[in-house]
Amino acid sequence: MRSLFFAFSLVFSSLLIFAYSGNCYAEDAMKKVEISKKQAVVIAKKLEDGKTLKITDQNDIYTVRILKNNGHVVDVHVNKKTGEVKKD
């Protein structure tokens, strides 16, 4: 009887460990990787062609300042988490 209880306990604890470890992997997969400064520049340059003057990192937004070929300066805001782009 003891050996049966021990075997049952071993199987049950193994299942718990397996279920917990699978849940950790699922949580890691759900976390998104933030966009880097270089990626933000590439995204901004798809919207506005020109020379990158400055990149500012504030909270969840990168601001990429671009000097356009016509001499105008524009700021393109790229969300670090979503990649969403807004232009001033």
The tokens describing 33, both together, are 């990787």
Any idea what the CATH number is for the domain that residue 45 is in? 3.10.450.40
Same domain (yes/no): 47, 77: yes
Q: Report whether pLDDT(23) > 90.
A: no
Taking alpha carbons only, the member of 56, 65, 68, 57 closest to residue 88 is: 65
The overall average pLDDT reported for the chain is 81
Instruction: Say whether pLDDT at 58 is over 60.
Output: yes
53 in the same domain as 22: no
Least confident of 1-5, 50-54, 71-75: 1-5
- Whether residue 19 is found in the same domain as residue 48: no
Say whether both 82 and 46 belong to one domain.
yes
Per DSSP, which regions of the chain are E strands?
Answer: 51-58, 61-67, 73-79, 85-87
Residue 19: give the domain boundaries.
1-31
Q: Tell me the per-residue pLDDT of 24-44, one tens digit each, with 9 for 90 and over.
A: 554 554 556 899 999 999 999
The closest alpha carbon to 82, from 65, 54, 62, 66, belongs to 62
**Total tally of structural domains belonging to the chain:** 2
